[in-house]
Structure 1
């Protein structure tokens, strides 16, 4: 018997993406990274930062603040998506601009700091955080394109649906289908 595939796990544009295994994995990975980073920054990172040379110490302070902010935004987005899934928040509320995840500035580039005084385990956390944040920004864009829920059809998707309907009716007239959208 063939294994059933979760269709939402393949395409973040599916309205039930938050019910997918992919979302569950992103959620677990994201929240795990938040916890791991907080433990590092409050423990070994704090102790280590006191012994850094001046330039590396300044970079560490700035980056750790950006890292914390980024991870809190990511965690907030993940929790919001779970609230949508569980019915505690409507998709319409989730469409609001204040909940969108976008990158305003350039990402931190830990590869340029390697060998310049910052510990590798800190730079690894920065890299993981940047990857998570970028992934969430892409998911957000796919789910909430231009303020529309992904279940609202784009012009292309409307045309595809019209073509399917015309084919099912047996009266397929491409000029009628495409002519109506001009």
Structure 2
């Protein structure tokens, strides 16, 4: 028998996935991770970030923003799938490119940052969040098929511009950071 996530009907993706236990588990775990990460970043993580060495502090700030963005994208996708499940949204609408989720940028590599001054709990959250995001990207692709690969979100485009500016020397985050102190 075919995998239910790959079954399609003539009018769009099959609902089997959102009606199953796998979706409920991904939804529950994903939303719990969003809450856990938000609580950490707003509480102990915020206090701890103020005591980090300069380089670790810069990485923490950048990664916190990226982590928050990816988790919000994942949560939005999960909520949208829930709307499909509850018949509050048409499955054909959920297949539109604007609701799709895919990885445009490489994942954050928490293992490469271990031992470099970032808190282990933060790196654990990064790792778990990256795993969730990757899983949701695979599910999206399995349910709705592969969409255009060259479509980037506005946030991804701005991050690319910042990266290009930093690489060319037009923007030096370390210099800006030093002037802010």
Q: Normalising by structure 1, what TM-score?
A: 0.74
Which of these two proteins has the greater Rg computed from alpha carbons? 1
Distance 2:131 2:103 in 1: 12
| Mapping of residues 99-114 of structure 1, within 5 Å | 99-114=99-114
Report Cα offsets for 1:118-161 as digits up to 9, x if no partner: 000000000000000000000000000145xxxxxxxxxxxxxx
Say whether 1:13 aligns with 2:40.
no
For the residue of structure 1 that corresponds to 2:6, the secondary structure is: coil
For the residue of structure 2 that corresponds to 1:19, the secondary structure is: coil
The answer for the alignment partner of 2:40 in structure 1 is 40
Deviation (angstroms), 1:36: 0.2
Give ranges in structure 1 of 5+ residues lacking alignment: 1-6, 148-182
The answer for the alignment partner of 1:67 in structure 2 is 67
| Mapping of residues 32-181 of structure 1, within 5 Å | 32-146=32-146
Q: Normalising by structure 2, what TM-score?
A: 0.75
The answer for the alignment partner of 1:169 in structure 2 is none
Deviation (angstroms), 1:11: 3.6
The answer for the alignment partner of 2:170 in structure 1 is none
The answer for the alignment partner of 2:30 in structure 1 is 30
Q: Number of paired residues? A: 140
Give ranges in structure 2 of 5+ residues lacking alignment: 8-13, 148-181
Distance 1:52 1:98 in 2: 38
Deviation (angstroms), 1:28: 0.2
